[in-house]
Structure 1
Amino acid sequence: MPGVVHYIPILTTFVAIAFAPVVYRRWQRRKPAPHLWWWALGIALYGVGTFTESLTTLFGWNETVFRSWYVAGALLGGAPLAQGTVYLLFSRRTANILAGVLTAVVAVAAVTVFLTPIQMELVESHRLTGAVMEWQWVRLFSPFINSYAFIFLVGGAAWSAWHFREGAEARNRFVGNVLIAVGALLPGIGGMATRMGHTEVLYVMELIGLLLIWAGYRFNVKPGAVRGGPVASGEQTALA
């Protein structure tokens, strides 16, 4: 039977439902702003992942839900957010190339996830784990994609925090990017715990991580926050 912690993804899903439109509306006001489009997409997919976890808690394990969870969570949990940061760190041409490569890798990985046979004897009624996939090599895509997310999402936010570390006028951006870096790191820790069979750790980390990212976003867009930076976009910060 599911415990209290198994119901946490329901709350996380509602947080994502509230957060994603906030970033999407900001993108609409500032088009083309591809970084905001990717961030809005990333938060929405974050919510899709926690929604599948919620369905598993409420209704039990389902093969389609499991495969959707693995794609939305293990493969796309942080990659779209990281791609948004890539659009701030690099030229538009370089960012477009990296977006194409990322999309192609995720597409191939997603196809293999939906094709792999399931070892039904390993299925747990209210717990999601990639261990049930017969083609265990499919799980090798996840560390590669998540490394991309870690480097550009966590690393990008940490770099931006360092850039805004001095000066009272830049304090909001410094605090905001620190919160985003920590918030982006936590689901990765939860993902590693999941690979060791502790899915419940992921549920907790997803909620705390998303709340920290949202808090960081609010600091970054707070009136009076410093704008500008050393890159062409003029916005060397995450979720701004």
Structure 2
Amino acid sequence: MPLVAYIPISTTLFSLYFIYVIYTHWRRKPEAMYLLWWTIGVITYAAGTTVESIHTIYGWSPFVFKAWYIAGAFLGGVPLAQGTIYLLMKKKTADILTSILVVVLIISSILVILSPLDETVVSEKLNGNVLEWTFIRYITPFINIYAVIFLVGGAFYSAWKYFKNREFRGRFWGNVLIAIGGILPGIGGTMTKMGHTYVLYVTELLGILFIFAGYQVIRNDRSLSIHENQVTTS
């Protein structure tokens, strides 16, 4: 295995630290649903890179592949996006979207678990072309687009709102960092579909670093949030 294949180990270790930080934050504000979902999001992010690390160390197996596909392709950015939904939208709307999303994720994950695998195309790189039920791969873009719209789009929307006032420069840059961090794994995922899985490993590490940096910048900013849900809970 090339050295780049071991990057997910570093990503996992850093994500564990991030989990501790954001979980501690949420425990102080348990009513903040956006923090709960962001915590879940970092956990699932770490789950995906953990599976990649196991693959690097121990090699391919049907269990490792399916766990990777579920944790990475389906759960990689969606919980983080759901946190942004709870931040920006009314709770009732966010709850409805959550219910729909959970059903879609459960059905999609069951399909991955049940799908036969074509082990003749297995290589040292994880790739979704192993799935014999190829229609599953057409579900993934819709889930990823959902994540991009709300995680990246939500961060850019917040950045645009904060850009109007110099008082909010910290929150502006924090959201820009989060948006960049949300985009990077998506680029890596696209490259994975082209057979360049190791690009994903690099973008995953950079992505979580950018998201953490943005989170810290916003958390340490002394100005009041423009988002009502954040003002009342954090």
User: TM-score band, normalised by the shorter chain?
Assistant: over 0.9
- Pick the aligned partner of 1:134 from 132, 135, 152: 132
**Is 1:13 aligned with 2:12?**
yes
Instruction: Give the whole-Å Cα distance in 2 for the aligned partners of 1:235 and 1:82.
Output: 19
The alpha-carbon deviation at position 25 of structure 1 amounts to 1.0
Cα shift readout 1:98-119 (whole Å, capped 9, x = no counterpart): 0000000000000000000000
Q: Is the 8 A contact 1:88 1:235 kept in 2?
A: no
**Is 1:101 aligned with 2:100?**
yes
Instruction: Give the whole-Å Cα distance in 2 for the aligned partners of 1:29 and 1:223.
Output: 18
The alpha-carbon deviation at position 235 of structure 1 amounts to 4.7
Residue of structure 1 in register with 2:178 after alignment: 180
Residue of structure 2 in register with 1:62 after alignment: 61
**Is 1:197 aligned with 2:195?**
yes
Cα shift readout 1:172-201 (whole Å, capped 9, x = no counterpart): 100100000000000000000001111011
Residue of structure 1 in register with 2:160 after alignment: 162
Runs of 4+ in 1 over 4 A off after TM superposition: none
Instruction: Give the whole-Å Cα distance in 1 for the aligned partners of 2:13 and 2:133.
Output: 33
Instruction: Give the whole-Å Cα distance in 1 for the aligned partners of 2:44 and 2:225.
Output: 29
SS in 2 for 1:164: helix
SS in 1 for 2:215: helix
Give, as a single letter, the amino acid of the residue that structure 1 aligns with 2:92.
R
**Is 1:228 aligned with 2:197?**
no
Instruction: Give the whole-Å Cα distance in 2 for the aligned partners of 1:121 and 1:234.
Output: 50
Residue of structure 2 in register with 1:151 after alignment: 149
Query: Structure 1's 235 and 147: CA in aligned 2 closer, same or farther, altered over 3 A?
Result: farther
Instruction: Give the whole-Å Cα distance in 1 for the aligned partners of 2:230 and 2:50.
Output: 35
The alpha-carbon deviation at position 234 of structure 1 amounts to 4.3
Instruction: Give the whole-Å Cα distance in 2 for the aligned partners of 1:162 and 1:181.
Output: 12
Query: Structure 1's 42 and 92: CA in aligned 2 closer, same or farther, altered over 3 A?
Result: same
SS in 1 for 2:30: coil
Cα shift readout 1:11-49 (whole Å, capped 9, x = no counterpart): 000011000121111111012101000000100110010
Give, as a single letter, the amino acid of the residue that structure 1 aligns with 2:18.
F
Q: Is the 8 A contact 1:190 1:206 kept in 2?
A: yes
* Gapped regions of structure 1 (runs ≥ 5): none
Structure with the bigger percentage of helix: 2
RMSD: 1.3
The alpha-carbon deviation at position 223 of structure 1 amounts to 4.5
SS in 2 for 1:38: helix
Q: Is the 8 A contact 2:171 2:221 kept in 1?
A: no
Residue of structure 2 in register with 1:32 after alignment: 31
- TM-score, scaled relative to structure 1: 0.94
Give, as a single letter, the amino acid of the residue that structure 2 aligns with 1:233.
N
Q: Is the 8 A contact 1:85 1:153 kept in 2?
A: yes
The alpha-carbon deviation at position 228 of structure 1 amounts to 2.7
Query: Structure 1's 57 and 234: CA in aligned 2 closer, same or farther, altered over 3 A?
Result: closer
Percent identity reads 47
Query: Structure 1's 48 and 234: CA in aligned 2 closer, same or farther, altered over 3 A?
Result: closer
Q: How many residues align?
A: 233
**Is 1:50 aligned with 2:49?**
yes
